[in-house]
Amino acid sequence: MATSNNTQQKYDKISELKAFDDTKGGVKGLIDGGITKLPQIFIHPHDSLKKIPKNSNFIFPLIDLQNININNKEIVKQIQEASETWGFFQVINHGIPVPVLDEMLRGTRRFHEQDIDVRKPYYSRDVARKVMYNCNFELFSEKSFAADWRDSLYSVMAPDPAKPEELPETCREIIIEYSNHVMKLGYTLVELFSKGLGLKPNHLKEMGCAEGLGILCNYYPKCPQPELALGSSRHADSDFFTVLLQDDIGGLQVLHKNQWVDVPPIHGALIINIGDILQLISNDKYKSVDHRVLANKIGPRISVASFFSTGLLESSRIYGPIEELLSKDNPPKYRATTLKDFFEYSSKKGFDNNSNLSHYKI
């Protein structure tokens, strides 16, 4: 009887997921429909909803990139320390004009708040598409506890970018402009990361760590029962590094010393975090850290994540711990892998609160 009940519950969940996905309206469609109670597929287990401790005294790292040529050594030191201890930090005076950041947030909102019939043609789960809109890439992952309260528009912007006409008209120009700015910042960051590892400035760049760029425009509508949901489940990014733009609502939390720490919204700042592949090739020197986004009764919350990866996922290039970092006292901690293999594994695994990297541990 227990087995029968479990099968029935699983069947009901899959049916509900499919029915929701078939609307192609995303979470925004549910809000537009006037729901007041959270559908079962969005209700997370209690353990995954634990809030931040009230007495947290942690100060989230903030790094000023102004006068980077003059203050290079100090900036490298700050980034190194933040990458080793937090896996996250915020940067100001990063070179991207604030009006560009603000328009990127507005452009994201414009896309997601269009009529559903305008959004529908972009809705897809075909990972081969260069422009794709949906709710939860991992919606049907068996190991994901529940769906996240979030819709996203994803665009491939380098090295083989989506054609301008493939991008939604409401945010086309700003996505192109913003991605050009972010690519420049990405090359600056890989140089700083390289120096922080004691490598030549162009080492990570020559490894292709900033060749590929994907832009993810997230829309988190107000949630009728935020205490039961998550905007984004606990996870670590499976790229080299991520540049995140968030609005003033906040909700992003980072797991630091086994406590959830709020990332304070700072107008004009960008959040940088280490991804799994950078932790792997740095042999655990830099840390890819779990993070999540809380649901909120106010909204929508807007964020734009820029994921830096290698140029082509089909590439046979192998990534393992960098030889120059290894020694008798610091042997390799991971086996080498292609990014295609790594991404396929992490996608299949889903958000199950376990590190993607543990699968590659020696």
Q: What is the CATH number for 237?
A: 2.60.120.330
Q: Pairing between strand 252-256 and 291-294?
A: antiparallel
pLDDT of residue 137: 84
In the chain, the number of structural domains is 1
Chain mean position to CA 159:
19
269: closest CA among 19, 71, 2, 62? 62
pLDDT in tens, the chain (362 residues): 344 344 444 557 889 999 999 999 999 999 999 999 999 999 998 877 876 555 467 899 999 999 999 999 999 999 999 999 999 999 999 999 999 999 999 999 999 999 999 999 999 999 889 999 999 987 887 666 799 999 999 999 999 999 999 999 999 999 999 999 999 999 999 999 999 999 999 999 999 999 999 999 999 999 999 999 999 999 999 999 999 999 999 999 999 999 999 999 999 999 999 999 999 999 999 999 999 999 999 989 999 999 999 866 667 889 999 999 999 999 999 999 999 899 888 887 777 778 899 999 99
pLDDT of residue 314: 65
Residue with tokens 């009230």: 54
**C-alpha to C-alpha distance for 231 and 300, rounded to whole angstroms:** 11
**C-alpha to C-alpha distance for 62 and 92, rounded to whole angstroms:** 8
Q: Pairing between strand 212-220 and 301-309?
A: antiparallel
- Domain boundaries, position 316: 2-360
pLDDT tens-digit map of 63-120: 999 999 999 999 999 999 999 999 999 999 999 999 999 999 999 999 999 999 999 9
> pTM to 2 decimals?
0.94
**C-alpha to C-alpha distance for 92 and 97, rounded to whole angstroms:** 11
Which residues lie closer than 8 Å to 64 by C-beta, 6 or more apart? 75, 91, 92, 93
**C-alpha to C-alpha distance for 187 and 66, rounded to whole angstroms:** 16
Q: Pairing between strand 62-64 and 301-309?
A: unpaired
pLDDT of residue 140: 81
With b meaning 16 or more CB within 10 Å and e meaning fewer, what string describes 26-63? bbbbbbeeeeeebbebbbbeeeebeeeeeeeeeebbeb
**C-alpha to C-alpha distance for 315 and 243, rounded to whole angstroms:** 23
